[in-house]
Structure 1
């Protein structure tokens, strides 16, 4: 299991995200010959019940300092039950969330905000991460989730590609909406954990 402690330094976090993004994409997904086998391996990594609310709250807390450095406010709200759970790997889930939140913070102007909200449906739970940055044109949106699809200077797009793959391997999906000069909204959907125990 990937462990990302809450006290980790910001620069160390940046480096870890970059290295892990490259590792997940290259070793698990880039080689077409081992593509299917690698995805089966990832599916077997620590697939267990996760307290979704706790993981999201811990991740937001972890990213508060990063947002503060960029003079961006993180706003967290939840309409989901505190005991809602999903199935997957807690470390990989946190990594996926860090990537999206980090991108939102970096896209926002100083004194801007990133709104993070958690919602629950009958069979799914989903996170909405909304920034008020410059947004993305449709051409870029259609390429999201693929390596090298990045608007950042020196960006590789590997972090977002890894986030897409991790979400998919946990049975979820990613939805993106963006308006130029208005901002971007990422929604990550995951199926709720259903215990078979009576």
Structure 2
């Protein structure tokens, strides 16, 4: 949005420059100004019609985002006969700086992993405030992971066709990493898996 505003201002200035130079200059100056307008318009069309993968970070209320997450996953959990229990020890509003869609996607992938492994169990989601960061714990009582599976978490999969696939968990690792955060995992076969998501609080980020 801000980029478009600057761009429109730039186009307007170019048009004003053209009018001014036509008055005091001549055809040569007209050509220079025309090129300037053409470049501005070309840049505008480039930004408008060619999508980018750049995320837009903003201040997110952690409790608000987690409540939204749980509400959005309610029907999904019901299909798996999974109960979601949410606990928050946050006494005040706590913010992180992140892209809203990426934050939701990263946590959704981790929770859905619990759905698929638990089957008629429960998932505990808890959030705690630490000194300079927030800790989100996602715990399921599913089948757990082996040591070999733990080593592969967060890594892309190389297929037989020399293609590289990025599992949902690997996507979550990358998205949380883009927020200056990290994911830690502990798992035990037959007992379940615990994902610990650690993200710096907004006040602690150096902009």
TM-score (norm 1): 0.71
Q: Residue 72 of structure 2 is aligned with which of 30, 50, 62?
A: 62
Q: Which residue of 2 aligns with 1:28?
A: none
* Number of equivalences: 148
Structure 1: 4+ residue segments shifted above 4 A: none
- The answer to whether residue 101 in structure 2 is matched with residue 98 in structure 1 is no
Native 8 Å contact 2:143 2:191 kept in 1: yes
For 1:98, what is the secondary structure of its paired residue?
helix
Deviations 1:146-179 (A, max 9, x none): 1239xxxxxx652111100010110000000000
CA distance 1:133–1:45, shift in 2 (3 Å): same
CA distance 1:195–1:169, shift in 2 (3 Å): closer
List aligned pairs for 1:32-51, cutoff 5 A: 45-51=55-61
Q: Which residue of 2 aligns with 1:142?
A: 151
- The answer to whether residue 141 in structure 2 is matched with residue 122 in structure 1 is no
Q: Which residue of 2 aligns with 1:24?
A: none
Q: Which runs of 5+ in 2 are unaligned?
A: 1-51, 159-164
**What's the CA shift for 1:81?**
3.1
- The answer to whether residue 93 in structure 2 is matched with residue 78 in structure 1 is no
Structure 2 Cα separation of the partners of residues 126 and 74 of structure 1? 18
Structure 1 Cα separation of the partners of residues 119 and 55 of structure 2? 37
Q: CA RMSD in A?
A: 1.9
CA distance 1:80–1:166, shift in 2 (3 Å): same
Native 8 Å contact 2:143 2:190 kept in 1: yes
Q: Which residue of 2 aligns with 1:21?
A: none
Native 8 Å contact 1:53 1:82 kept in 2: no
Higher relative contact order (Cα pairs below 8 Å, separated by 6+ residues): 1
Task: Flag the structure with larger Rg.
Answer: 2
Deviations 1:67-102 (A, max 9, x none): 111101000010013410001101110011110011
